[in-house]
Amino acid sequence: MTEIIEGGCRCGRVRFRATVDNWPRVYACHCLDCQTWSGSAFSLNFVLPEDQLVVTGEPAIFVPVANTGHCVGEFSITWNRPLAMWLMLYGCAPRIEARIASAPWGPWSAPTELLGKDEDVGCRLIMIAAGCGNRQDFWPSRQKNGNLQPGAFYAPFVLNRYTTAAAAGSGASRSSTIYWLVSTWNPYEVTVMRTTLKRESR
Which of the four pLDDT bands, split at 50, 70 and 90, describes residue 2?
Answer: confident
The candidate with the shortest Cα–Cα distance to 168, out of 83, 79, 98, is 83
Q: Is 84 within 8 Å of 101 (Cβ atoms)?
A: no
Proportion of the chain above pLDDT 70, given as a percent: 88
CB neighbours of residue 53 within 10 Å? 13
Is residue 52 pLDDT above 60, yes or no? yes
The candidate with the shortest Cα–Cα distance to 176, out of 142, 199, 153, is 199
pLDDT digits (tens, 9 = 90+) for 119-158: 788 888 899 999 999 888 888 888 888 899 888 888 899 9
Better-predicted residue by pLDDT, 65 or 111? 111
Is residue 170 pLDDT above 60, yes or no? no
Is residue 72 pLDDT above 80, yes or no? no
Distance, CA of 147 to chain centre: 26
Which of the four pLDDT bands, split at 50, 70 and 90, describes residue 191?
Answer: very high
Report pLDDT for 66.
46
pLDDT digits (tens, 9 = 90+) for 74-115: 788 999 999 999 999 998 878 899 999 999 888 999 999 999
Report pLDDT for 202.
61
The candidate with the shortest Cα–Cα distance to 36, out of 186, 155, 180, 157, is 155
Is residue 20 pLDDT above 60, yes or no? yes
Q: What is the mean pLDDT of the chain?
A: 84
Q: Is 124 within 8 Å of 98 (Cβ atoms)?
A: no
Better-predicted residue by pLDDT, 97 or 22? 97
C-alpha to C-alpha distance for 34 and 20, rounded to whole angstroms: 24
Report pLDDT for 84.
93
Write down the pTM of the prediction. 0.66
